[in-house]
Chain A
Amino acid sequence: MNKRELHPFEEYQAGMTRRSFFGKMAQGIGITALGSMLNPYLLSGAGVDIQNGGPNMGFRLPHFTPRAKRVIYLFQNGAPSHVDLFDYKPMLRKWHGRQIPDELTAGKRFSTMTGEQAERPVIGEISNFSQHGQSGAWVSDFMPETAKVADELCFIKSMYTESVNHAPAITFFLTGSEQPGRPSMGSWLTYGLGSVAKDLPDFVAMTSRDKEASCGQIFYDYYWGSGFLPTKFQGVKFRGGGDPVLYLKNPDGISRKIRRQILDDMRALNEMNYNDFGDPEIKTRIAQYEMAYKMQISVPELTDFSDEPQYILDMYGPDVNRKGSFAYNCLMARRLAERDVRFVQCMHAGWDQHTNLNHQLKIQCQDTDQPSAALIKDLKQRGMLEDTLVIWGGEFGRTPFLQGNIKDYNNWGRDHHPYVFTLWMAGAGVKAGLTYGASDEFGFNPVENKVHVHDFQATIMHLLGIDHERFTFRHQGRRYRLTDVHGNVVNSVLS
């Protein structure tokens, strides 16, 4: 079929109302030909990206065999202090109290809190470091349980980022851009890879905070937002109190039996309407009401820990039964992973030790150390670490120098430090027991194998079988991707 009618746009351009046909229009024109006349590419708006195969793109992914089927991201909001927890720098104690070399800080941006502070004395790590496991990874004694699973972990000690403030830096990690409005990693992945979980959302977000509520960072819902992707790809926030999913429970007095019979009749009535109107959205609506019904069973089952043996609960620590705690969320993450949920984002706030380093950091570690390690062990013993990628880390690191007055011991702090920091990954496709990259002797700048946030994101995509450069979405006239226009896969951390 190569005969073609003038598109009105062409006519418009020609500035005339031509009625002539180019060639004789065949009788009973075929649907395909007519469809192509509409030129779906030229008329398509946001989203449909022909470069990636149009709306069916999801079925074209992955680009290659994935190593990971799912991701659990233990995001540590506030920025854990790399120099006190993972990045052992003997130099810091030697230089304790002395001004950090000016050549390190010159021209560097810090937050307003130390940006204009004239004195920047180095302070030694407030914990004690030792090496662990066969890999000999350095871990501080604030993290005894993590230390025990060190051989499962891959530490990246040369991470660096761009923003010096929390919200933009977190947004950068999760969406590839400091400005809110882009899809988060979980949305990209569920959009690209499609649905696997049967009766649960594919992308779940949970939040927790330290017991003292010392840190004020709030969780913006764009941290798990879908940006310009359809909202059905946004993370579903499981709440720490009340129904885990908003409006999950039937109203009082409406039993499951009644709900079922109501849905059955609604389906019957909706199908009659479908037969009349032919709108496929009606079919989707019916399916979504069914999914809602399934979630009413699957979510309470999911959150009911009574089927967990005591030794498992003990592994995650004393807070495991407290809803909204990090421990609770870690166990939930495992249970979600077992149910094939693609992306679980547990965000824990409380790492922002500006003025309370000496007492608060340790408490913070107590909240998170045991559950994080338990999750690794638990996944491992179920054989799930093979195809589950676990990530642990914050949005930046903390300054090797002091924020505050060195004499005022109780108010010591460390400021935001985007120039180098540590995170760890474990599981599917990642080399276990590896320490990758290194910072300088002050833990100030990366000196070996620098890893930018976009590199890190490219690596995660790679583990899920996606070439980050070829996974794009067209919006407002340009192709967007998680890694913006940057990022290189860090091949050395891949197993």
Chain B
Amino acid sequence: MVPKSRFFFLLMYGLILLSACGPEMPGEVAVAYEKLPAKIDFNFHVRPILSDRCFQCHGPDDKARKADLRLDLEEGIFDQLQDKELFPVIPGDPDKSELIRRVLNEDLEIMMPTPESNLSLSETEKAILVKWVEQGAEWKSHWAFDVPVKVELPKVEEVTWPKNEIDYFVLKRLESLKLQPSPEAKKETLIRRLSFDLTGLPPTLEEVAYFVNNTSDNAYEELVDRLLATPAYAERWAWEWLDVSRYSDTNGFQGDFTRDAWPWRDWVINAFRENMPYDQFTIKQLAGDLLPDATTDDVLATAFNRNHTYNTEGGTIPEETRVSNVFDRTETTGTVWLGLTLNCVRCHDHKFDDIAQKEYYQLFHYFNQTSEEGGGWGGKQKPLLTLGSQDTVDMINRLETYIISLKDEVEKLEYDKFPRDLGLPASESKVAKNTKGLDPRILLKEAKLRGTGEFGQLLKYFRPTEDVYGRTIKKLHNVMLEYDRISAASIQVMTMDELEVPRPTHVLERGTYNKPLLEEVINPGVPKILPPLEAENNNRLALARWLVSEDQPLTSRVTVNRYWQSFFGNGLVKTVEDFGVQGSLPTHPQLLDWLARDFQENGWDLRHLFKKIVMSATYRQSSKVSEELLQIDPENALLARATRMRLPSWMLRDQALAISGLLVDSLGGEPVMPYQPDGVWSEATFGKIKYKQDRGDALYRKTLYTFWRRIVGPTFLFDNASRQVCTVKSSNTNTPLHALTTLNDVTYMEAARVIGERMLTHTSNDEERIKYGFRLATSRAPDSSELEILQNQLKQLRQLYRSSPEEALKVTSIGDFRKNSTLELADHASYSVLGSLLLNLDETITRQ
């Protein structure tokens, strides 16, 4: 706090001595100044202001920079301004610092930020800058680019509360704010919370009873260990990774062709099952194909980098598609491992973080070396990994080679068949132009980029009986048909490979695929703000290893933070996708670093990390919140309680299946097509693709196995990642459309009907039946007032359905699942509706 007298002195000083040449603090700034903390910190107070309001024009972007002034670098802030007798900042001397003069000035010609920028500084922000300079203008590097340090645990007053290391950091902060942590949640709440968080499923009643009655000291830990070891654990975390990886069963875009991506999804499930260390998980997915003695599984892992969309629309340019796929790989890597927003750097230097456009293309280089060509048609775009018997693999390889040689031959023959000027496509020849009805787009493409259907078209105009050209394309067409037949019967996953002769990489002007800046060849490399990558063979494998190397400061932090979000709703750094200077600062920086280091020290063991989190007292708190705490901390940044979160929509469906007993929990395999309203695919594809709903068990498999059509995702999901691009931030919204889904979708209503059957057959006593259903839905017994409401509801429903048996028949016939027809119709209908009510309770759809 600034003593009043000193403040007054400062003000007077400014007014008297500097009114002619230097700044004076306007009254409001002076008032704000008085409220500032004693010590101004560069990273905490100052850089966020500079970055947000100044970097746009005075930051890392070369092209956008004005007055040759860089405020993102230490030198830029302190060095003399070019051609001027001025310094942006003179430590200790705000009056002579040009930056201060500009931000305090109200003359439209002088003030900063300029009026045109639509940016402005608040009085407090101006005061912060003044005080920082006054205090000596200490500069610091951006925290996230420094190596994390595992500090000693802070000392806390309430020493009995912490259960593990996490709690010391959390409690320390609460104590400093004179706040208390919340009491531990009830056991029923805890087991439900843990079950959803670790396995994506609600606990069974037996599991609840066992845990509630288990009074041993390690009951909780025993439960955690049991859940971590279930196959459901693997499936639950696979979902999270599928959102991150923009996994889909189709290409996206027009045509939206189906691809064989699911073997990779199963690879992910297995990786979680065997608790593959996250560094291995990283290396295999980014560069499994380049590992010495790579196994089929290692190559399969690299499908991660082919999960992007793929555009084969007519009129698109193959190279444009290819480049946009490389962009996607580069940016996905940036988001997932580095927590850096690289997408803007493809066009220009980063506006905020010190990453040059050229450095983007250094990263791009690693992903620019596959044999993918960008053209083609269909959902299987090379490079492909054929899974199946050795015979099939051999056959596919032989046919592929044969096709390539025949296409070469065709290409040569077309020079004679379609005479034209050098460099022009065959479609520009007189012969082609005089061929009425022939789609000119076919001959526009080089022979090697044409598909089977296109050769089929050509055959209609150039007959095999005519000449050697006709005979050759006939032969080629036959071989391609054969290939397609075998290919269709085989599983072929799009994976990564590495060209023998590297493809040269250039900076692309404004990210435009056909505007390479040819004067410079770009070598692979990592951004200079991070530790250097030193490897003999600087390829994708080297990059992957560097990402998980010990002193690369981002991967471990970014990873633990992303997972933390699943347990607390937000990351310790709220912007899980951005650890750059514009990202949020961590709420508990030392905790983040501690966890990051601990994660590394324990061999990047995710189960260890999750266990650490859920064993903490912080995690075990109740999520009940007082109005006062809610006002202080609406987003639960302080962690003085557990976070109450609506379950993701995929978990809601799995829950409905689980508590009705419908769930078929087999692992892996081809995607399935559960219920979906008629006409959705058809409308989205102009009738070209129709949904073929499955029957039987396939209807009741976990949502993880639902076929994902990229252009229209599963209709019963809401606010899930759309799987167009990598998504690391979870979204949780609350709209009437969600209510309509869980009330009316046959998936939910069928489950409700079967829950009704379960309640009815459980016992003959209505009260017990209701209690049973309530416990199935919420893992706890209803209290008397809750019970009363439900009993009254049952009474009313019975009356209504007794008087209208046709309606009762309809309700009890919803869904494919075999109906228990021994039940009295009105009873069955009433309990079915009660089941739907229970499935829609806020408590049921929320993890408390």
Contacts and interface: CB of A to CB of B under 8 A. Distances in A.
B34 A2 contact: yes
B587 A43 contact: yes
Given A232-B733, A248-B740, 6 more contacts: A13-B143, A34-B632, A35-B633, A258-B800, A273-B841, A405-B436
Interface string A233-249: 00010011111011111
A53 to B, nearest CB: 11
Interface of A: 2-14, 17, 19, 22-23, 25, 29, 31, 34-35, 37-38, 41-46, 50-51, 111-113, 116-118, 165-167, 179-181, 207, 209, 213, 216-222, 225, 230-232, 236, 239-243, 245-255, 257-259, 261-262, 265-266, 268-270, 272-274, 276-282, 284-286, 288-289, 291-292, 295-296, 324, 349, 355, 404-405, 408, 411, 416, 469-470, 472, 476-478
A115 to B, nearest CB: 8
Contacts of B570: 45
Contacts of B741: 246-247
B39 interface: yes
A265 B834 CA distance: 10
A279 B732 CA distance: 14
Question: Most B CB atoms within 10 A — which of A266, A268, A405?
Answer: A266
Given A17-B154, A37-B177, A285-B734, A31 B632 contact: yes
Given A251-B749, A289-B739, A478-B344, A218 B48 contact: no
A472 B56 CA distance: 15
Given A118-B424, A262-B833, A113 B807 contact: no
B508 to A, nearest CB: 14
B529 to A, nearest CB: 15
A266 B845 CA distance: 12
A220 B710 CA distance: 10
Contacts of A252: 810-811, 813-814
Interface stretch (B294-302, B622-630, B694-702): B622-630
Given A251-B749, A251-B811, A258-B833, A277 B740 contact: no
Given A38-B632, A231-B733, A292-B743, A477 B578 contact: yes
Contact of A241 (B43, B577, B683, B736): B683
A477 B581 contact: yes
A355 B587 CA distance: 60
11 contacts: A12-B586, A44-B584, A51-B119, A117-B427, A216-B686, A257-B800, A262-B837, A265-B793, A269-B786, A405-B440, A477-B581
B317 to A, nearest CB: 6
A213 B733 contact: no
A257 B799 CA distance: 13
Interface in B35-60: 35-39, 41-45, 48
Nearest to B631: A31
Contact of A262 (B176, B583, B836): B836
Nearest to B573: A45
B789 interface: yes
B48 to A, nearest CB: 6
Interface stretch (B357-365, B530-538, B711-719, B758-766): B711-719
Interface in B547-596: 570, 573-575, 577-578, 580-590, 593
A416 B427 CA distance: 19
Nearest to A218: B254
A4 B36 CA distance: 8
B623 A277 contact: yes
Contacts of B461: none
B482 to A, nearest CB: 28
Contacts of A272: 785-786
Interface stretch (B13-21, B283-291, B597-605, B723-731): B723-731
Given A22-B38, A165-B316, A116 B424 contact: yes
B214 interface: no
Interface of B: 1, 34-39, 41-45, 48, 118-120, 122, 140, 143, 151-152, 154-155, 169, 172-173, 176-178, 253-254, 256, 313-317, 341, 343-344, 351-352, 424-425, 427-428, 433-434, 436-437, 439-441, 444, 570, 573-575, 577-578, 580-590, 593, 623-628, 630-633, 637-638, 644, 646, 677-680, 683-687, 711-712, 715, 718-719, 722, 724-725, 729, 731, 733-741, 743-746, 749, 785-786, 789-790, 792-793, 796-797, 800, 807-814, 829, 833, 836-837, 840-843, 846, 848
A30 to B, nearest CB: 10
Contact of A3 (B1, B154, B155): B1
Contacts of B428: 116-118
A34 B173 CA distance: 12
Contacts of A230: 731, 733
A110 to B, nearest CB: 10
A404 B439 CA distance: 9
Nearest to A408: B436
A180 B684 contact: no
A150 to B, nearest CB: 32
Given A253-B811, A478-B352, A165 B740 contact: no
A470 B586 CA distance: 28
A213 B44 contact: no
A251 B683 contact: no
Contacts of A10: 39, 41, 44
Contact of A222 (B678, B724, B833): B724
A285 B647 CA distance: 13
A43 B711 contact: no
B41 A231 contact: no
A241 B842 contact: no
Contact of B625 (A222, A253, A278, A296): A278
Contacts of A416: 315
Contact of A113 (B151, B444, B588, B848): B444
A55 to B, nearest CB: 10
A80 to B, nearest CB: 17
A307 B116 CA distance: 52
Contacts of B638: 38
B744 A279 contact: no
B541 to A, nearest CB: 29
A265 B441 CA distance: 63
A425 B425 CA distance: 42
Contact of B315 (A6, A37, A111, A404): A111
A116 B644 contact: no
Contact of B736 (A46, A243, A261, A288): A288
Given A22-B37, A295-B740, A277 B574 contact: no
A469 B623 CA distance: 41
Contact of B679 (A209, A219, A239): A239
Contact of B797 (A46, A219, A258): A258
A167 B289 CA distance: 34
Contacts of A46: 574-575, 577-578, 729
A167 B644 contact: no
B362 to A, nearest CB: 21
Contact of A7 (B44, B317, B740, B807): B44
B684 A218 contact: yes
Contacts of B1: 2-3, 22-23
A349 B796 CA distance: 50
A269 B787 CA distance: 10
A77 B680 CA distance: 20
- Nearest 3 interchain pairs by C-beta: A477-B582, A253-B810, A45-B574
Contact of B575 (A2, A41, A45, A240): A45
A247 B737 CA distance: 8
A280 to B, nearest CB: 7
B744 A249 contact: yes
B686 A209 contact: yes
B814 A245 contact: no
Nearest to B638: A38
B441 A278 contact: no
A112 B585 contact: no
A474 to B, nearest CB: 8
Given A9-B586, A252-B814, A266-B840, A29 B734 contact: no
